[in-house]
């Protein structure tokens, strides 16, 4: 049986990712997810003052800098026992939601749906509709996503002065209160986005869409009206299922969510007791039960990573990040391999929705499992939930105009000790673990959503989630493996994929 | 300053990837120079679509980036957006790359600013290296001179 290796580079704003796949007779028999860029943020933070993390960590990512900032400030507040007023939580939540909405819309309609316009699908009945809606720069939905997605983060700029890389969250709150001008301007931005989302993406009003509670209700809705069928989510669903994406790309059955958005009604408590608007938990894929989440169960392995070796897995508070590039060994990535309860897990909008018991997503999951279509569908379902929630938050801020946006900490210095900050970024569970000794940072460990999902093999040789979602896949044309593109993009790795065929040196592009 | 008078110089590149940092190195030199009020210099780094902001509120924009397969190594090229139209993968690609950015600009801005692309054919994109190759390094001051000349026209 012929054997070949293909390598897929995933060029991302926030770091470089490659896939190296081994094919036998067109079937993927091994996969290696390669983080090809070492960042070194954890080392940069060592010996700095603790609050430097508020300026440095938002630079980790050009897409989810708000999430990094939120995790950093939560770690400082956890360490210092610093309370936060409800208004500050609302502003933080609002901004984090805006960032997630932008990321989800761009992921969906700039990257994922463009693959439906691949020439391979020309014989399919959906092809002309796909081009009319999703063709890059020409399709109506692609153009709409380009225009509307760029404005939603202006809400962050209103409160944070800039986006990306803002530093407006401080221990005890945020730098700016929600003035009536901020609220009105934010509502204006949100209204425009919501109108476009209702008209072009879901083909109905937000409340009706969110009222769909089960797989049966959704599939009945899908064909009930032309506006539903021809909405972006209708087209995306019908095209995905026509090519069988609901049968592909499952990966690990274990799912993790840190919970999303601190609950302002629970402002009197501290993490990890503080409640979230969307629940935290661990979906045990063996039992199907959602178990309480406990951050102490997290470890990171480096057996297949380019870091100085240690045995087994270590909790981030015992974590070690010492680069040790060994290109000619069996180590293959700059990503560590995080595990939860020693299990390979996935994180992201599908995990978040299932753990939060979102009825429609749970129903679809029970019917067909956690496939590539449902993973992408969950992302768009989340957009609707967040647009709804953002409006609620703005109304809550308007209803409490004089609430404090900051509770000044008793002391300006962060004491020695340790703390962690856990948030839900656009791509899933993001955590910062911080230790302060003699007034400076002695250890800082960041475990990103992509570290969870793009993890390499661990000490036991178990593949990470993305890797396992590709193993077993049959590719029609190894020179143009569009199936791989669908699955990889459903995981939200971000930008364009190019394919290098190593055995010939020939370079081809995974369309577009 | 009226929109019609503003001219932006926008430099792209990843300074941690060898010659891919060409644009960023040019920015560092441009930034040290004195410019009239109607000229602004931006370091877009690897901003991807976020760089659209730098293309607002200006009537002319000069984009600086590394090039692949446009000439001999070290050769400086001045291109128009239409020169990239059929070569979507030819630039080194920071995030989504300049061709994508320019296509996106057509969707979100009308009328378009007048755009020139100034780049150098690079030798190699070298991960984990902050050093430019000799010929690319030599092209940096020449590119700065070229841009000054373009803006004095």
Whether ipTM exceeds 0.85 = no
Q: Is the dihedral of CA A93, A95, A100, A102 positive or negative?
A: positive
Residue B109 to chain A, least CA–CA distance (Å): 9
Residues of chain A with C-beta less than 8 angstroms from the C-beta of B95: 11-13, 62, 495
Q: Is the pTM of the predicted complex or chain greater than 0.80?
A: yes
Q: Is a pLDDT exceeding 70 seen at residue B62?
A: yes
Mean pLDDT score of chain A, rounded to an integer? 90
Name the CATH superfamily, with its identifier, for domain B3-152. Answer: HybD-like (3.40.50.1450)
Residues of chain A with C-beta less than 8 angstroms from the C-beta of B46: 13, 62
Q: Is a pLDDT exceeding 80 seen at residue A13?
A: no
CA distance linking residue A280 with residue A290, whole number of Å: 9
Chain center to CA of B92: 11
Q: How large is the angle between the packed helices A86-106 and A65-80, nearest 10 degrees? A: 150
Domain coordinates of chain A in residue numbers? 3-509
CA contacts within 13 A on the Cβ side of A408: 3
Predicted confidence (pLDDT) per residue in B42-56, tens digit: 998 877 788 898 999
Predicted confidence (pLDDT) per residue in A78-113, tens digit: 999 999 999 999 999 999 999 999 999 999 998 899
User: Which 3 state secondary structure label does DSSP give A495?
Assistant: coil
pLDDT band at B84 (very low <50, low <70, confident <90, very high): confident
Express as a percent the part of chain A with pLDDT over 70. Answer: 93
Q: What is the mean pLDDT of residues A325-349?
A: 93
Q: What is the mean pLDDT of residues A484-490?
A: 88
Q: What is the mean pLDDT of residues A39-46?
A: 84
Express as a percent the part of chain B with pLDDT over 90. Answer: 52
With an 8 Å Cβ cutoff, is B127 touching chain A? yes
If one counts every other C-beta atom within 10 angstroms of the C-beta of residue B127, the result is 13
Beta strand segments in chain B, E: 7-12, 39-45, 60-67, 76-79, 114-121
Q: Is a pLDDT exceeding 50 seen at residue A511?
A: no
CB atoms A495 and B96 under 8 Å: yes
**In B, residues 58-117, which contact A (CB 8 Å cutoff)?**
89, 93-97, 100, 103-104, 106-108
Peptide bond into B5 cis (omega under 30): no
Express as a percent the part of chain A with pLDDT over 90. Answer: 76
The CATH code that applies to domain A3-509 is: 1.10.645.10
Residues of chain A with C-beta less than 8 angstroms from the C-beta of B50: 62, 164
Predicted confidence (pLDDT) per residue in A155-178, tens digit: 999 999 887 778 999 999 999 999
pLDDT band at A7 (very low <50, low <70, confident <90, very high): low
Q: What is the mean pLDDT of residues A58-75?
A: 88
Q: What is the pLDDT of residue B87?
A: 60
């Amino acid at each position: 049986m012929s054997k070949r290796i293909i390598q897929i580079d995933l060029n991302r704003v926030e770091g470089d990712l490659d896939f190296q796949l081994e094919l036998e007779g067109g079937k993927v028999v091994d996969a290696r997810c390669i983080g090809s860029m070492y960042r070194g943020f954890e080392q940069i933070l060592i010996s700095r003052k603790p609050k430097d993390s508020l300026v440095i960590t938002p630079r980790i990512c050009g897409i989810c800098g708000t999430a990094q900032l939120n995790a950093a400030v939560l770690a400082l507040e956890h360490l210092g026992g610093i309370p936060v007023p409800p208004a500050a939580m609302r502003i933080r939540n609002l901004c984090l939601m805006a960032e997630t909405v932008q990321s989800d819309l761009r992921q969906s309609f700039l990257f994922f749906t463009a693959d439906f316009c691949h020439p391979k699908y020309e014989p399919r009945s959906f092809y002309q509709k796909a081009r009319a809606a999703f063709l890059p720069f020409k399709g109506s939905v692609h153009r709409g996503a380009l225009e509307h997605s760029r404005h939603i983060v202006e809400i962050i700029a209103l409160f944070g002065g800039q986006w990306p890389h803002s530093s407006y969250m401080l221990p005890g709150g945020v730098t700016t209160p929600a003035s009536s001008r901020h609220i009105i301007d934010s509502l204006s931005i949100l209204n425009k986005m919501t109108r476009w989302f209702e008209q072009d993406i879901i083909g109905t009003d937000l409340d009706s869409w969110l009222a769909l509670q089960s797989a049966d209700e959704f599939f009945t809705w899908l064909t009930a009206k032309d506006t539903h069928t021809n909405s972006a989510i209708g087209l995306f669903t019908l095209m995905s299922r026509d090519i069988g994406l609901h049968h592909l790309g499952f990966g690990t059955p274990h799912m993790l969510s840190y919970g999303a958005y601190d609950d302002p009604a629970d402002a009197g408590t501290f993490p990890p007791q503080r409640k979230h608007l969307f629940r935290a938990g661990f979906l045990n894929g063996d039992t199907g039960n959602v178990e309480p989440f406990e951050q102490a169960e997290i470890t990171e392995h480096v057996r297949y990573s380019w870091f100085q070796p240690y045995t087994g897995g270590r909790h981030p508070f015992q974590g070690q990040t010492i680069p040790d590039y060994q290109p000619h060994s069996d180590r293959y990535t700059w990503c560590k391999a995080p595990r939860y309860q020693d299990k390979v897990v996935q994180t992201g909008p599908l995990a978040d929705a299932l753990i939060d018991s979102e009825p429609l997503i749970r129903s679809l999951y029970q019917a067909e499992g956690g496939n590539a279509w449902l993973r992408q569908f969950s992302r768009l379902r989340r957009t609707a939930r967040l647009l709804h929630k953002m409006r609620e938050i703005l109304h809550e801020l308007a209803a409490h105009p004089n609430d404090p946006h900051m509770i000044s900490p008793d002391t300006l210095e962060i004491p020695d000790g340790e703390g962690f900050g856990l948030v839900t970024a656009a791509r899933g569970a993001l955590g910062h673990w911080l230790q302060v000794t003699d007034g400076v940072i002695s250890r800082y460990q960041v475990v990103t959503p992509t570290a969870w999902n793009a993890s390499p093999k661990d000490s036991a040789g178990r593949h990470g989630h993305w890797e396992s979602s590709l193993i077993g896949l049959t590719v029609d044309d190894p020179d143009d493996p569009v199936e791989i593109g669908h699955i990889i993009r459903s995981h939200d790795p971000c930008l364009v994929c190019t394919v290098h065929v190593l055995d010939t040196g020939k370079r081809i592009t995974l369309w577009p | 300053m009226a929109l019609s008078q503003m001219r932006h110089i926008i430099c792209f590149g990843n300074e941690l990837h060898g010659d891919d940092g060409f644009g960023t190195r040019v920015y560092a030199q441009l930034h040290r120079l004195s410019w009239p009020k109607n000229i602004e210099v931006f370091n877009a780094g690897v901003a991807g679509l976020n760089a659209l902001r730098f293309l607002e509120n200006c009537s002319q924009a000069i984009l600086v980036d590394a090039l692949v397969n446009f000439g001999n190594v070290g050769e400086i090229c001045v291109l128009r957006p239409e020169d990239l139209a059929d070569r979507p993968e030819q630039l080194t690609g920071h995030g989504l790359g300049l061709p994508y950015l320019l296509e996106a600009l057509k969707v979100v801005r009308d009328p378009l600013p007048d755009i020139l692309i100034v780049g150098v054919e690079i030798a190699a994109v070298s991960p984990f290296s902050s050093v430019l190759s000799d010929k690319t390094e030599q092209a940096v001051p020449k590119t700065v001179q070229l841009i000054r000349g373009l803006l004095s026209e």
